Structure 1
């Protein structure tokens, strides 16, 4: 029923597995390696067709400096910070309370509400493009940082509530009952008992939502126009020229745009792994 551990495989199969892992890893990393190498390659080499060879002249500082100065990249970066941080904090705060209510309380419509959260995660985002854009125009939120924050807050809360409800459901209900018997109100139970116990899940969810919002390009393109509220993903696309494209600058901008997500993951990797494995074992 369960996969056999690698240690119990036949020697030939185990050897083939160990040899195939580096090959698979190289194939998976090849596009990222190509972007990193292209980001330090000169425009002359790209014009000559040297796409995969080792760079003859490494122009690391020049390419990254030009990517930051030829377009308002810092402005795009600040927009992404303004959009992402409130969206992550708000979505997790609302989802924690919604997940607590769905996991602990029994009320009419509990299952229906939970099913709605589940079903909402399966709706293709392309279907919502025109209605969401029309709604943002009617509310006066089109091409604004506040509109993108409200959009991501609305769409990420459903996924976060589903995620946290399942974690809270695994907590021993006796802890909550004991706190109520001792006279603790519901807010005390939520803040003093539930939140500390699901801290790993909150950290893992923060990384996931941060990555989703920071790397979003589809909705940033649909709900913004110009540079006023555009995040860094749109800013990287703006580095492409009308007739020719300096792919070394686009690659440098892509690396700069990806650095916050990568840095956050490595900074909170321990909590991320603990959150994903929380409740996986009994006893």
Structure 2
């Protein structure tokens, strides 16, 4: 029923696994390494056609200084912060309360509400592009930070609610009953008992939602125009030259845009792994 541990594999299979794993890892990391090398390559080498060879002139300081100082990348980064942090906090707060209600209150229509959250996660985002864009235009939210926050908040809350509802459902219901017998209110029950118990799940969910929102490009491109509310993912396109694309600057900007997600993951790696394995075993 469960996968056989690697130590119990046949010697030939174990050798093949040890050889193929570094190769697969190298192939997976190859695009990232190519972007990293391009970000430290000079513009002259790119004009000469040296795209894949080892750079003869290193221009890392020049490229990254141009991206950070001579372009509006810091403005785009500030927009990304204004969009991402309220979206993550709002989605976690709303989904925690909704998940608590769906997991502990057997009200009429509970299954229908849960089914709605599940069904919403299967809708392709491309189908919603035109209706969402028209709605933001009618509400006056097009090309605004508030519109992007509202959009991400509404769409991420469905996934987060389904995620947290399943975690809260795994908690011992006797704790809830005992708290109610002791006279705890529903807010005290939620804040003092449920939230501390699902803290690993909240941390894991925060990392996932932060990555989704920070790296979003599709909706940021559809719902913004110009530099006013454009986040970092859209702002990387502004690093392109007028007649030719400065791939070294685009690569440097792409790495800077991806850096916060990587740092957040490593900073919360322990909580992230604990949250994904929370409730996996009993006893």
Q: How far 1:7 sits from its partner (Å)? A: 1.0
2: distance between equivalents of 1:275 and 1:177? 24
- Hey, what does 1:229 align to over in structure 2? 229
2: distance between equivalents of 1:157 and 1:68? 33
What is the count of residue pairs matched by the alignment? 283
- Hey, what does 2:93 align to over in structure 1? 93
Residue 122 (structure 2) pairs with residue 125 (structure 1): no
Matches within 5 A, 1:256-275: 256-275=256-275
- Hey, what does 2:54 align to over in structure 1? 54
- Hey, what does 2:67 align to over in structure 1? 67
Q: How far 1:243 sits from its partner (Å)? A: 2.3
Q: How far 1:237 sits from its partner (Å)? A: 1.5
Q: How far 1:2 sits from its partner (Å)? A: 2.3
1: distance between equivalents of 2:243 and 2:128? 32
Q: Deviations over 1:13-48 (max 9, x none)?
A: 101100111000000000000011100000111112
Aligned residue for 2:66, secondary structure, equals helix
CA RMSD in angstroms comes to 0.8
Structure 1: segments with no counterpart, 5+ residues: none
Matches within 5 A, 1:115-264: 115-264=115-264
- Hey, what does 1:2 align to over in structure 2? 2
2: distance between equivalents of 1:214 and 1:200? 21
Matches within 5 A, 1:78-117: 78-117=78-117
TM-score by length of 2: 0.99
Aligned residue for 2:239, secondary structure, equals coil
TM-score by length of 1: 0.99
Aligned residue for 1:238, secondary structure, equals helix
Q: How far 1:242 sits from its partner (Å)? A: 3.9
Q: How far 1:277 sits from its partner (Å)? A: 0.4
2: distance between equivalents of 1:93 and 1:144? 23
- Hey, what does 1:11 align to over in structure 2? 11
Q: How far 1:116 sits from its partner (Å)? A: 0.4
Structure 2: segments with no counterpart, 5+ residues: none
